[in-house]
Amino acid sequence: MISFIVGVLILVAGYFTYGRLVEHLFGPDSRPTPAIGHPDGIDRVPLPHWKNLLIHLLNIAGIGPVIGVILGVKFGAIVFILLPVGNVIGGAVHDFFSGMISLRHNGANTPLLVRRHLGPRIYHVYALFLTITLLLVGTVFVNIPANILVKGHTDWFWVAAGAIFLYYFVSAFFPIDQIIGRIYPVFGAILLLSSLAILFGLAPHASLLSEVSLSDVAANFTRHPAGEPVIPMLFVTIACGIISGFHSTQAPIVARTMTAERQGRAVFYGMMVVEGLIGMIWAAGGMALYAHRPELLASGNGAALLGELVNWLLHPAAARFALLGVVVLAITSGDTALRSLRLVIAEYFGIDQTPVPLRLLTTLPIFAGVALLLAVSQSDAFKILWNYFSWSNQTIAAFALLVAVAYLRRQGKPCWVAVVPALFMVFIVLDYILFVSPRAIQGAPLGFGLPPRLAAGLAALLASAIVAWIRYRRQPEVE
């Protein structure tokens, strides 16, 4: 229990100390935001600060801080320390710069920021990579909440999936203040209450929470039942909560609705810290569940473990409410993933989103793609693609942090706050793809399958070279 409490204190203290330092280095000022300087009535619309806080929290908090941490806490109590430390110096920094740099570029999405700060050569490849990833997110976040809602009654699956799909279309197409701005406060209340329900349900079982072990630290924390090392595996298992590239695709949505730059620390840095707190609660629940029923450590089915957890801790009515909170997490990330994809495609092809016909022209192909992927979502081809999601998500995070390094350097500001997490995330994505393979990690996607030390050594060398190149190279002349 001490490790859990220490982790919570790290998150809270990190917001008021490290978060303030990061804000100071960026230097928010009084210049007009996109919603004030260039309103369009669709995406760049001024919204109240409290709504922006809730919208961004729900956008970034997918099922990662629930199912991801339930699986991730198999690595042991070290999660209670790595999650908050990674959140404060990595994930929250990533989210803050993703949002604030977008704010300074009229709400631009990450591909345009990559073009502006990393150069045009990588821009087209990155835009395609991001498009595929967001399509996968949108599809899976129809599939998962639909399955949770029908609770095994497969005859009703397509009814639930169809309803979610229709909501996603409406949410992605209509002006942000008409749908998202109105219903997200309700969704936010459900999310926070469901997490509090888990926390109170966990209280009588606090003695089941273990503490950080120095022997685990010495052995790369290999407490995982399958012997998976924390580095790199933990950092692709627990994305949301520590750091997630998906957040960089969501930050521009709120950057277009903020009314002052000084709101940025609370919105971008602060809501990532709140997501970390949510992740800590569910991680503690997962640890208690494994202590209560050790045989579940062998299960890799996150959704099934989630069901076991809420049914054990909560009264049946409260358990249903907690599951509703998880559905809200998935839906409120799926809808804005597809809204973000509409904006990415519109920026790439230069399609004005103000006229309804042009916005419809941009939106319909996206949902045709989601419908096609949903139809084949049980196929082996889709499963192979989804196996790479965690890795591609963290690759997007690495790009966002490299953009932050280049931006700070261009502004003549200290860039170490971005260099440190950028170096680590580039290392993680390289180490992961060099280390994993179906024979090294059961169910892992294709990789090189190198021995752990060799993979880590090569990844460290390559990551150092890449970050040094971004840090010291001549800045691209792209406007």
pLDDT higher than threshold 90 for residue 478: no
Helix (H) or strand (E) holding 138: helix 123-150
Which ranges of 314-415 does DSSP label H, i.e. alpha helix? 316-349, 356-375, 380-387, 389-410
Mean pLDDT of 294-309: 85
Contacts of 282 (CB under 8 A, 6+ apart): 65, 66, 69, 70, 195, 198, 309
Closest CA to 202 of 328, 70, 85: 70
Of 443 and 354, more confident: 354
Rounded CA Rg of the chain? 21
Closest CA to 397 of 88, 60, 22, 91: 91
For residue 28, the SS3 value is coil
pLDDT higher than threshold 90 for residue 321: no
Residue 423 within a domain: no
Q: Which amino acid is at 362?
A: T
Residue 443: φ, ψ to 5°: 80, 5
Residue 464 within a domain: no
Q: How far apart are CA 452 and CA 436, in angstroms?
A: 9
DSSP-derived secondary structure letter, 88: I
Tell me: the pLDDT tens digits for 351-391? 999 999 999 999 999 999 988 888 877 666 556 666 677 88
Residue 75 within a domain: yes
pLDDT higher than threshold 90 for residue 14: yes
Q: How would residue 148 be classed by pLDDT, with cut points 50, 70 and 90?
A: confident
Task: Tokens for 127, please give them.
Answer: 């835009």
Q: How would residue 445 be classed by pLDDT, with cut points 50, 70 and 90?
A: low
Task: Tokens for 428, please give them.
Answer: 């993680």
Q: How far apart are CA 302 and CA 67, in angstroms?
A: 5
Q: Which amino acid is at 378?
A: Q
Contact indicator for 26, 96 with CB cutoff of 8 Å = yes
Q: How far apart are CA 149 and CA 151, in angstroms?
A: 6
Number of neighbouring beta carbons within 10 Å of residue 14? 22
Residue 477 within a domain: no
Q: How would residue 402 be classed by pLDDT, with cut points 50, 70 and 90?
A: very high
Tell me: the pLDDT tens digits for 181-239? 788 778 878 878 888 888 999 999 999 998 887 665 555 455 677 777 888 888 887 87
Closest CA to 470 of 98, 125, 114, 99: 114
Mean pLDDT of 261-274: 96
Q: How far apart are CA 45 and CA 188, in angstroms?
A: 20
Contact indicator for 239, 246 with CB cutoff of 8 Å = yes
Range of the domain at 277: 2-389
pLDDT higher than threshold 60 for residue 479: no
Mean pLDDT of 81-108: 96
Residue 462 within a domain: no
Residue 135 within a domain: yes
Helix axes 79-86, 2-16, angle to 10 degrees: 10
Count of structural domains, the chain:
1
**What global pTM score does this model have?**
0.92
pLDDT higher than threshold 60 for residue 297: yes
Provide the pLDDT for residue 387.
Answer: 66
pLDDT higher than threshold 70 for residue 175: yes
Q: What angle do CA 120, 126, 130 make, to 5 degrees?
A: 145
Query: Over pLDDT 70: what percentage of the chain?
Result: 92
